[in-house]
């Protein structure tokens, strides 16, 4: 069974401070990992995926297979980063994953001035 | 490009009543998903369609939930009869099928917020 754990319901940081949103997963295989974001009154949208190895809006995430983690990081938080962040897992495309996403419970990030 | 459309946006019903939700995916997206998001939880996949065929409905409570995508475009999700625990946001998403089991990014609709009294 696949599981995604986000231990923090709420993370509050000051503007300019570093941000780390934690995500741990459980999956017997090589999964694909994603971060989705939902800004206030907007739709859920993809922020980044580990296979792209991109930095989006200053955010990065590295897949650590040894620790089964995929933490989301940003060196300097901005007010516009305030949102709900969801970590998600999908079985590998190579094993016919079909993009079936399993989401964590989400972390509300609040960036204070 | 137009995004995923869903209606209604809000629905309030009493338990044991029936309700239906509608979804129109992004044009050209062969894959359509329905998710249930209960307050305080992440979205949970209920059913996945590839064109008009069901790919995965393992988490769909089939005694009361049904979904169809007859022409491979729009989809409806029905609950009959509704229970209190069905109160949730129902999200529809679609993605472009790239072949050989590969999917592009899922794009989500605004959701339908259901309250069962």
Closest residue of chain B to A97, computed from CA coordinates:
B101
pLDDT at B101: 67
Give the number of A-B residue pairs with CB atoms closer than 8 Å.
Answer: 49
User: A5: which residues sit within 8 A by CB, 6+ positions away?
Assistant: A23, A24, A25, A26, A104
- State the Cα–Cα distance between residues B72 and A53, nearest whole angstrom: 33
* Strand B5-7 relative to strand B107-108, pairing: unpaired
Chain A residues within 8 A of B44 when measuring between CB atoms: 103
Can you tell me the mean pLDDT for B29-44?
95
The number of CA neighbours under 13 Å toward the Cβ of A104 is 29
Confidence bin at A2 (pLDDT 50/70/90): confident
Q: How far is B41 from chain A (nearest CA, A)?
A: 5
CB contact (8 A) between residue A102 and residue B106: no
- State the Cα–Cα distance between residues B43 and B36, nearest whole angstrom: 6
SS (H, E, C) B46-77: EEEEECCEEEECCCCCCCCEEEECCCCCCEEE
Q: How far is A44 from chain B (nearest CA, A)?
A: 6
Nearest to B103 among A99, A103, A104 (CB): A99
CB contact (8 A) between residue B55 and residue A106: no
Quick check: B32 and B94 in contact, CB under 8 A? yes
Sign of CA dihedral B5, A98, A4, B38: positive
Per mean pLDDT, which range of A24-28, B2-6, B102-106 is the poorest?
B102-106
Nearest to B115 by CA among B23, B8, B34: B8
Closest residue of chain B to A52, computed from CA coordinates:
B105
CB contact (8 A) between residue B45 and residue A88: no
Q: How far is A81 from chain B (nearest CA, A)?
A: 19
Q: Is residue B95 scored above 80 in pLDDT?
A: yes
- Interface test with chain A among B3, B39, B58, B106, by most A beta carbons within 10 Å: B106
Quick check: B8 and B112 in contact, CB under 8 A? yes
Q: How far is B90 from chain A (nearest CA, A)?
A: 12
A74-86 pLDDT, tens per residue?
Answer: 999 999 999 999 9
To the nearest whole number, what is the mean pLDDT of chain B? 93
- Per DSSP, what are the bridge partners of residue A85? A37, A107
**Token code pair at residue B67:** 């979904």
User: A40: which residues sit within 8 A by CB, 6+ positions away?
Assistant: A82, A83
Can you tell me the mean pLDDT for A1-14?
95
């Amino acid at each position: 069974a696949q599981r995604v754990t986000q231990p923090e319901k709420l993370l509050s940081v000051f503007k300019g401070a570093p941000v780390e949103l934690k995500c741990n997963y459980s999956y017997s295989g090589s999964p694909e990992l994603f971060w989705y974001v939902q800004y206030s009154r907007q739709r859920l949208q993809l922020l980044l995926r580990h296979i792209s190895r991109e930095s989006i809006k200053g955010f990065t995430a590295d897949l650590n297979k040894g620790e089964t983690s995929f933490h989301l990081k940003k060196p300097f938080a901005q007010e516009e980063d305030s949102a709900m962040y969801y970590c998600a897992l999908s079985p590998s495309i190579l094993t016919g994953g079909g993009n079936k996403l399993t989401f964590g419970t989400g972390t509300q990030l609040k960036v204070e001035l | 490009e137009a995004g995923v459309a869903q209606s209604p946006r809000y629905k309030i019903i009493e338990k044991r009543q029936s309700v239906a939700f509608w979804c129109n995916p992004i044009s050209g997206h062969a894959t359509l998903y329905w998710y249930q998001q209960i307050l305080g939880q992440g979205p949970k996949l209920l059913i996945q369609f590839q064109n008009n065929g069901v790919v995965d409905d393992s988490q769909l409570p089939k005694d009361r939930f049904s979904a169809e995508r007859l022409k491979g475009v729009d989809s409806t999700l029905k609950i009959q009869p509704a229970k209190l625990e069905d109160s949730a946001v129902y999200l529809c998403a679609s993605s472009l099928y790239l072949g050989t089991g590969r999917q592009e990014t899922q794009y989500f609709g605004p959701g339908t917020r259901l309250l069962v009294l």
